[in-house]
């Protein structure tokens, strides 16, 4: 491939301000997670609209140029990692909410729009976009779609897959596939958008998104609960599912080690001596009655012996302080090395799984540290493990310990973060040959030359 031909054609297609090269690319951050911290590619293109994305991909496809797609770069599985020979396609200029339909409760936005901007735009119209996560200020809606992000409220609203109504995608050869459906019901043939949700940029570039909004809740109740055994953590979930009806919006669990670590540098709402801490959130429609109802529900849970200790947030500041403990995943990066895992498995198996992992780690590295937390209501736990050194075999050995038990338990090596580069050698530990075969066939059909995010998810 001729680099000067590539550059000159790109400059004609998108203009000088949209093309960065050399040091101007390497000076940019490659994200806060993982290595390297700067972008290794020689060329980065920032198209201004879908037409320009199509032109760039058409040129790259013709010239066999590999393309790595960049959203907000908050991904944690090296899905946006670029090599020197790759061209980076950044969606940062496809940024902004195009329109909101308050009657149909839909919002249309460019793929580069930060999640928080979408949440705020919906709120201005008395509606809510329920997708939420600690990376909300930086993660983009296009990246959320590409990773089928989960987050804090999946228990009630589902993952991104259930929040997207329409997508505009540019295929590897520059074809614009517009599936900008706004309706909840549309069974006219295959639902093509679903192919691209969670495909991690390997099947097409998401350029615009129509999402489904929900009613803005009139009340928000939050409690932090301390419990000393896991059996009651699972029973409390069952009880709240019934007692709160469909208003239970988050059931986030932090194991003792995680809570203690996070409350060293900030006030602890509850003393750090419980085995488990559960963040319970209820979003309702009655600002007066819901608060009383929440207290009654928690009182009953205490009477039933499901809760050892609890504190209810009394103000927005209290709520933020409790959520900040759960959301502050980034500060775990103080640990060196730090390996972050995101697995899912049946809730009934979680505690035995965590206990076995802890024992296996301690056997290999007596001074290991493991912090467990996650969206337990969805059977999703994150393990932040510090063991051995960043170089050498430690990471591989830890991965083996964490991933190997999952198949027998019916679990997954990736609950919500995707596969990227980081997990691809383990994909066949939770997907069959037939499943991976169909994934490959789709890739080969939609991206014949294999230029989009090559080597990500599978080879
Ligand atoms: C503090 C923190 C908290 C987090 N919490 C959660 C959480 O609760 N739940 C969760 O699911 N994730 C979470 N994440 C992970 C991350 O935020 C999500 O994966 C997010 O969806 C990535 O969005 P992004 O815009 O940053 O994408 P990027 O990191 O830029 O890209 C991620 C992948 O998508 C591809 N991609 C990006 N944009 C597009 C596009 N427009 N078209 C096609 N492909 C594209 C990239 O090539 C890459 O493969 C968290 C991360 C951090 C740092």
| β-pair type (43-45, 87-90) | parallel
Q: Which atom of ligand 1 is nearest to the CA of 375?
A: 8
For ligand 1, atom 9, which residue shows the shortest CA distance?
A: 151
170, 53 contact by CB (below 8 A): yes
Q: What is the pLDDT of residue 1?
A: 61
Q: So what CATH class is 219-327?
A: alpha beta
69 lines ligand 1 (CB under 6 A): yes
Architecture of domain 330-420+427-444: 2-Layer Sandwich (3.30)
CATH code reported for the domain at 3-93: 3.30.43.10
* Spacing, Cα 75 to ligand 1 middle (Å): 4
Q: What is the pLDDT of residue 341?
A: 97
Q: What is the pLDDT of residue 452?
A: 98
Longest CA pairwise span in the chain (Å): 74
* Spacing, Cα 148 to ligand 1 middle (Å): 9
330 lines ligand 1 (CB under 6 A): yes
* Cα–Cα distance, 43 to 21 (Å, whole number): 5
373 by DSSP, 3-state: which? strand
Stretches in the chain below the pLDDT threshold 70: 1, 34-35
Domains 219-327 and 330-420+427-444 share a fold: yes
Q: What is the pLDDT of residue 197?
A: 98
Q: What is the pLDDT of residue 333?
A: 87
Q: What is the pLDDT of residue 433?
A: 97
Domain ranges in the chain?
Answer: 3-93, 97-215, 219-327, 330-420+427-444
pTM over 0.75: yes
Q: What is the pLDDT of residue 389?
A: 81
Report the CATH fold assignment for 97-215: 3.30.465
Q: What is the pLDDT of residue 336?
A: 84
């Amino acid at each position: 491939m001729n680099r000067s031909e590539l550059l000159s054609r790109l400059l004609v297609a998108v203009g000088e301000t949209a093309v960065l090269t050399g040091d101007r690319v390497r000076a940019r951050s490659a994200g806060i997670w993982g290595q390297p911290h700067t972008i290794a590619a020689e060329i980065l293109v920032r198209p201004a609209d879908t037409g320009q994305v199509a032109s760039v991909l058409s040129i790259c496809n013709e010239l066999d140029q590999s393309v790595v797609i960049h959203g907000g770069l908050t991904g944690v599985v090296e899905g946006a990692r670029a090599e020197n020979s790759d061209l980076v396609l950044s969606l940062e200029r496809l940024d902004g909410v195009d329109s909101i339909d308050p009657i149909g409760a839909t919002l249309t936005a460019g793929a580069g729009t930060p999640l928080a901007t979408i949440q705020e735009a919906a709120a201005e119209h008395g509606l809510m976009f329920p997708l939420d996560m600690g990376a909300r200020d930086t993660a983009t809606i296009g990246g959320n779609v590409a990773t089928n992000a989960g987050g804090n409220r999946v228990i009630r609203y589902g993952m991104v897959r259930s929040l997207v109504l329409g997508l505009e995608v540019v295929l590897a050869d520059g074809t614009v596939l517009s599936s900008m459906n706004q309706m909840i019901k549309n069974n006219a043939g295959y639902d093509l958008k679903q192919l691209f949700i969670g495909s991690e940029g390997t099947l097409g570039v998401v350029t615009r998104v129509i999402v489904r909004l929900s009613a803005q809740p009139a009340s928000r109740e939050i409690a932090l609960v301390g419990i000393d055994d896991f059996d009651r953590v699972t029973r409390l979930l069952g009880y709240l599912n019934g007692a709160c009806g469909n208003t239970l919006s988050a059931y986030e669990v932090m194991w003792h080690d995680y809570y203690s670590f996070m409350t060293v540098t900030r006030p602890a709402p509850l003393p750090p001596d419980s085995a488990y801490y559960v963040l319970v959130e209820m979003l309702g429609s009655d600002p007066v009655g819901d608060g009383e109802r929440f207290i009654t529900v928690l009182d009953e849970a205490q009477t039933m012996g499901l809760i050892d200790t609890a504190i209810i947030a009394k103000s927005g500041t209290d709520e933020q302080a409790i959520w900040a403990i759960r959301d502050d995943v980034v500060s775990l990066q103080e640990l060196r090395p730090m390996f972050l895992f995101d697995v899912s498995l049946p809730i009934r198996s979680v505690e035995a799984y965590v206990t076995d992992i802890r024992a296996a780690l301690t056997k290999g590295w007596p001074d290991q540290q493991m912090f467990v937390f996650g969206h337990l209501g969805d059977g999703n736990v994150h393990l932040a493990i510090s063991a051995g050194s960043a170089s050498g075999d430690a990471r591989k050995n830890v991965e083996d310990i964490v991933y190997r038990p999952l198949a027998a338990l019916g679990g997954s090596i990736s609950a919500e973060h995707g596969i990227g580069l980081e997990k691809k050698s383990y994909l066949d530990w939770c997907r069959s040959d037939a499943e991976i075969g169909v994934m490959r066939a789709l890739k080969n059909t939609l991206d014949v030359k294999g230029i989009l995010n090559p080597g990500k998810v599978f080879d």
